Chain A
Amino acid sequence: MDSVLSIKDLTKKYGRITAVNNLSLEIKKGTVFGLLGPNGSGKTTTLGIILDVINRTSGEYQWFGEAPSKEHRKRIGAILETPIFYPYLSATDNLKIVAEIKQVPTDNIDHVLRQVDLYERKDDKFKTYSLGMKQRLSIGSALLCNPTVMILDEPTNGLDPQGIAEIRKLIIEIAKDGKTIILASHLLDEVQKVCSHFAVLKKGKMIYTGLVEDVSKGEETIEVFAEDENLEQLLNDYEGIKNINFDHNKWIVSLHDGHNSITLNAYLIANKITVSHLVTQKKSLEKQFLEVLAASDE
């Protein structure tokens, strides 16, 4: 696969603070790459550097295997932090400026405005838009050049649940077109739902990188509850038990190899307990993320 972005030993210092610390990263064509990390971990700074709005202290990066230039940025659809447009101009006028900068035809403007559901409001000034509409316009703007790569930094920031769902749907649709997407977010659920790869940053350092699908391959935990006071005793007596915790009105159980929810359920039925709640939990990215962060503190 071709390399879309390759970052090598990138460092950015603000005085005594190191915002990005010796970061190396490789993103291949067609991946949906989640960049995770707590606030202030250097996600936006890294994206700012590869988009040439922030000067790097040291290190290198390449777009499509070439030294970076404005021509690459014209083929990239990117939004950083908040949606940025001329507030006194309409959506159409704002996108005309973007089209002129990217040197792409303006014919596409109506199409992208329909895609992000803003066509009806296209002649209204940007400053009259709600936050959700502003976010959608910025995604529309990023789509304008029919980009091969999209960079989305916290695209659902400040949105209501409906807005978040809309944006997520949009990202999944875009990803289906085979575009490479770099998504920075601290909403892990979101990254798990749309990304194929992810990396975790902390204090400017990359502390983990891997495939999202590998996260759920790890051990399973099972949630169990039954209206029976013998349940705790029976669970503790079960031969496959590894760990047991009570949390929010249910038992969280992890099992040894060779045991799973089916064998556990059979065991409970054999002991005359019918459960009212039995759920197999695969490991979430959130859990993995917290573990990675915790491990890095040690």
Chain B
Amino acid sequence: MLRLLKIDFKKFVNYRTFWVLMTLYSVLVVSIPTTVMEFLKWLKVKGANFNEFDPLRVPVLYFPDIWQNITYVYAFLKIVLAIVVIISVSNEFSYKTVRQNIIDGMSRIEFVGSKLSTILMLSLYSTLLVFLTGLITGLIYTPNYDFTDIFTGIEFVFAYFLDVLLYLLFAFLLTVLIKRSGLTIALLVIYLPLEYILTANLPNSIDFIGAYFPMHAMNNLIEVPFPKYIFQEIQDYVSMKSVLVALFYIVLFPLAIYKKLKQSDL
């Protein structure tokens, strides 16, 4: 596995697009909380009048709320990582290097494995970055907190990992099916609303299956947290069912990718 990761990494080492996208992604993740907090401070300093309401008292980025809030928001940024995956895989098809890799002595399963190990690394990197950003932001800004508050809701970080992993695997599968990067990115973007439109129009008798569609499975991991700030009820935990459905797809997608590649003439 390590060898396969090494092979795939060598393809990236001197690939400018990869580093540009990864830098962009990392800077975005790290800078968002600071920007938000500084913006709130600025609002307060400017004396914006919210009916005697202090914007800094909204605990958006305070322990323990922070975990669900930032994982929910950061899940939108995973499109950048998906583009990295799509480019990495579609390049292999457009340059025909997948063919040469096999000729040189890779098996198809090893080829899939090398891309999967990169996807796993990207998901872990993203999760670690989000965890550290959340931790540092919380430690800096949370006014008073108990030690136990810090790790309350940490399961959202784990859910975030599954969320990103599932999405990147989905991007991998689409690329193997479509092979062209531009088309794949476009389809990845429009697939999500399409799936929601489709499930919204299911007949009542079977509309429970909507939750089992892949993008639903992914989005159900971390529910929208913000309505609670206007006193509405939210799901402030990660449901076991959503984790199981997500895991199902996390196993299914690589199998489908392998089956497709095995049947293909490269």
Contact = CB atoms under 8 A, between A and B. Distances in A.
Interface of A: 48, 51-55, 70-71, 73-74, 76, 78-80, 82, 84-90, 93, 96-98, 100-103, 141
A88 B10 contact: no
B218 to A, nearest CB: 32
B266 A54 contact: yes
Contacts of A78: 103-104
B103 A53 contact: yes
B7 interface: yes
A51 B103 contact: yes
Contacts of A79: 103
A179 to B, nearest CB: 17
Nearest to A98: B104
B13 to A, nearest CB: 7
B106 A70 contact: yes
Interface residues of B: mostly helix, strand, loop or mixed?
A: helix
Contacts of B3: 100, 103
A88 B104 contact: no
Contacts of A85: 95, 97, 100
A102 B11 CA distance: 15
A70 B266 contact: no
B102 A52 contact: yes
Contacts of A87: 95
A86 B95 contact: yes
Q: Among A53, A54, A76, which residue has the most Cβ atoms of chain B within 10 A?
A: A53
B99 A80 contact: yes
A171 to B, nearest CB: 19
B97 A100 contact: no
Chain B interface bracket (under 10, 10 to 19, 20 to 34, 35 or more): 20 to 34
B265 A55 contact: yes
B228 interface: no
Nearest to A54: B265
A98 B99 CA distance: 12
B14 A88 contact: yes
Contacts of B16: 88
A77 to B, nearest CB: 9
A14 to B, nearest CB: 9
Given A55-B263, A80-B99, A101 B105 contact: yes
Nearest to A96: B10
Q: Among B95, B104, B263, B265, which residue has the most Cβ atoms of chain A within 10 A?
A: B104
A283 to B, nearest CB: 36
B41 interface: no
A15 B212 CA distance: 37
Interface string B97-116: 10111111111001000000
A30 to B, nearest CB: 22
Given A74-B105, A90-B14, A101 B7 contact: yes
A53 B6 contact: no
10 contacts: A51-B102, A52-B103, A54-B265, A73-B103, A80-B99, A90-B14, A97-B11, A101-B7, A102-B104, A141-B104
Given A73-B104, A73-B105, A53 B10 contact: no
Contact of A100 (B10, B15, B100, B102): B10
